[in-house]
Amino acid sequence: MDWRPGASADTLRQRARLKRLLRETLDARDWLEIDAPVLIDSPDFEPNIALFRATLPDDTPAGSLHSSPELTMKRLLAACPDLPGAYYLGPVFRANEAGRRHNPEFTMLEWYDNGATLESAIATTLALIQSAREALGLSPAPVERRDYGALFRRHGALDPYHADTDTLAQAAGRHGIDVADPADMARDDWLDLLMSLVIEPRLDPTSLTVVTGYPASQAAMARLQTTRFEGREIRTAARFEVYGGGLELANGYHELVDPDEQARRLDSAGSRQPSPSQQRFLAALAHGLPECSGVAMGVDRLLMWLTGAEDIDAVLPFSARRV
C-alpha cells in the first residue's frame, strides 16, 4: 500500500503557484473571494449530479456536501449588486465520480462577473488559462472556436438538436459504445456520452477549444437564445465550455436572472417542493440579480492539461485512492 502523495514535489509546487496566480489575478479585478458553505440542505438545480449525503450521529439527515457554490454566490451578488465580481476557490464534492479524470473531491474555481456577457466570460476564462500557462513557463496555446451542432454533424453524422433517442443510440452503437441499460438513458444522456467518447477525443490536443451552441436542455440556469442550425430554428443555451485538448476545463453561462423562469425549470426538474436554500435563492432572484456571467473551472483538470498528466492522481496530494 503506497502511503506517498500522488503528485510529485515539483507538481505540488506548480499546484500552489497556480492557485496563487488565480487568486492574485481575480483579486486584482477587485473581486471578492467568498467562503461558501460546504454543507448544504439539498441538491442544486443539476439533477444528474449525485451528492454525498451527511448525517448526524443518530443517522438523522443533515444535508449534502456541495457540488458547487452557485446558489449562495448568486444570493451574495443579488444582495451586493455593486460588487464587480466574486469567486470561490476550494473543494467541491460529487459522488460516483472516480477515475482517470475524476476524483470525488476536487478543487473548483467558480466566479460570477457582474455585468459580463457570454463573450466577455469566454475572454476572461481564456485569459486566466493563458496566464496560468505563462506562470508555468509555457507559451500561449492556440484557440479554436467550435459550434456544438457542427461538431456532432462532423464527427457523429447527426443533428443533435432534433435527433431522437433511438437515432442517438444508433450513432453510439456505430462508434462501438455499449451501454448496460440503454432503456435508462435519456436524450441528453446520449448526447453527453457521444460528446465525451466521440467528439472530445477528436479535439485538437494542442489547442484550447471553445464550444458554444449547446441545446437548451443542457443549461438549467442559463439564458436561452433562438438561432438556426442547417436552416431550422433551434433554441440554444447561452453556455460555453473550454477544452484543453480533449479535457474539459471550464463551463460557463450567461446567467438566467428571471425568477419565474427559474422556478419553472426547477419544477420541471422534478422537485416536489423547493428546499429552504432553493427558496432563498429564488427570493434573491425576485429581489434582483444583476446581469452576470458565471464560470466554473476545474483546477485539478487545468493542472493536468498544463503538466501533461494523464491521471488526476498525479496532480493531487492525496486522491481518493490514497486517502
Q: Report the first-to-last Cα separation within the chain, whole angstroms.
A: 11
Question: How much is the average pLDDT of 95-110?
Answer: 92
Q: 1 Cβ partners below 8 Å, 6+ apart?
A: none
pLDDT value of residue 184: 86
| Pairing mode, strands 239-244 and 247-254 | antiparallel
The amino acid sitting at 106 is F
> Per-residue pLDDT tens for 291-322?
999 999 999 999 999 999 999 999 999 999 99
* pLDDT score of 44 more than 70: no
Which long-range CB contacts under 8 A does 265-269 form with residues at least 24 apart? 265/45, 265/220, 265/221, 266/45, 269/45, 269/47, 269/220
Q: Using 50, 70 and 90 to split pLDDT, how confident is the model at 99?
A: confident
Q: State the Cα–Cα distance between residues 28 and 67, nearest whole angstrom.
A: 27
Using a pLDDT cut of 90, give the percent of the chain over it. Answer: 85
Which tens digits make up the pLDDT trace of 144-172?
999 999 999 999 999 999 999 999 999 99
What is the structure's pLDDT at 219? Answer: 85
Asked if the model's pLDDT at residue 57 lies above 90, the reply is yes
What is the tens place of the pLDDT at every residue in 124-141?
Answer: 999 999 999 999 999 999
Task: Give the Cα separation of 314 and 321 in Å (integer).
Answer: 11
**C-alpha to C-alpha distance for 10 and 14, rounded to whole angstroms:** 6
Tell me: the pLDDT tens digits for 222-273?
999 999 999 999 999 999 999 999 999 999 999 999 999 998 887 766 556 7
Ranges of beta strands (E only) in 130-176 are 143-147
**Angle ∠(160,162,163) on CA atoms, nearest 5:** 70
pTM of the model: 0.94
Q: Are 64 and 51 in contact (CB under 8 A)?
A: yes
Phi–psi pair at 76, nearest 5 degrees: -65, -45
> Considering only 22-36, 175-189, 208-222, 259-273, which range has the smallest mean pLDDT?
259-273
Rounded CA-CA distance 196/297 in Å is 17
pLDDT at 20: 97
Assign 180 a pLDDT band (cuts: 50, 70, 90): confident
Q: Which domains does the chain have, with CATH numbers?
A: 1-142+249-323 (3.30.930.10), 150-203+208-244 (no CATH)
